[in-house]
Structure 1
Amino acid sequence: MYSKLIKVGLRVWLYSSDAYGMVTVIGSPYRVEALDLPTKTPWQPWYLDKQVSRSFVEYHGMIMVIVRGAGHLVLLDKPAEA
């Protein structure tokens, strides 16, 4: 599905949490890496109030974000970090 969206020119922003057991912090990047998208920017930390609040990687057509300490509802659990 992501490949089709990227192919038609849409940019995808995919986020996940490092504290949610159903979608693991290992599984999400593994699935994205299986798409074999060229990496534009390697994994980098993102800071909020001088603390790492998330990490992100940018691929051609997609940005993947891992939000630190968020649960299932990332945007509700950690809105400032997200």
Structure 2
Amino acid sequence: MSIFIQDLVFECSDFIGINWKDMPFTVLPVIQDLMASGISVWIYSGDTDGRVPVTTTRYDINKLQTPVKTPWYPWMYQGEVGGYVVGYENVTFVTIRGAGHFVPSYQPGRALAFFTSFLEGKLPTDH
């Protein structure tokens, strides 16, 4: 079983952010529990996301202290770099080039290629 998560922050509404009082500080414990159960977690992020930048997601993934299985490499979409991917133990982080916070609305083709890879259980390579 696998699960994918967009970014590591779920607050997308000021109303929710102001009124939700029991909001967890981080979802990292949930991700750790999923990893410990053997579920492969995919985290993705648009590389132009101003709400949750790739650097922030990478910083949070580093807090999981999980070993890298597949070092960073570019994945391709229609002959262009679609983004970058790094595979950790039970966690995969994929970036989607040219996408903002709502990846499918910015880059629908790249989002579909990435999601197809997720469903196939394979790291993105060339679509």
Identical positions, percent: 38
Structure exhibiting the larger radius of gyration computed from Cα positions: 2
Amino acid at match of 1:55: Y
Give the deviation of 1:75 after TM superposition: 2.4
Structure 2 unpaired stretches of 5+: 1-29, 112-127
Misfit runs of 4+, over 2 Å: none
Q: TM-score, normalised by structure 1?
A: 0.92
Alignment of 1:14-29 (within 5 A): 14-29=43-58
Give the deviation of 1:24 after TM superposition: 0.7
Alignment root-mean-square deviation, CA: 1.0
Q: Which residue of 2 aligns with 1:51?
A: 80
Q: TM-score, normalised by structure 2?
A: 0.61
1:4 to 6, 12, 33: 33
Return the structure number with greater helix share: 2
Q: Secondary structure at the match of 1:80?
A: helix
Q: Which residue of 1 aligns with 2:92?
A: 63
Give the deviation of 1:12 after TM superposition: 0.4
Return the structure number with greater strand share: 1
Amino acid at match of 2:70: T
Give the deviation of 1:79 after TM superposition: 2.2
| Distance of 2:34 and 2:104 partners within structure 1 | 22
Between the two structures, name the one with larger relative contact order (CA 8 Å, sep ≥ 6): 1
Give the deviation of 1:33 after TM superposition: 1.2
Amino acid at match of 2:95: I
Give the deviation of 1:50 after TM superposition: 1.6
Q: Which residue of 2 aligns with 1:38?
A: 67
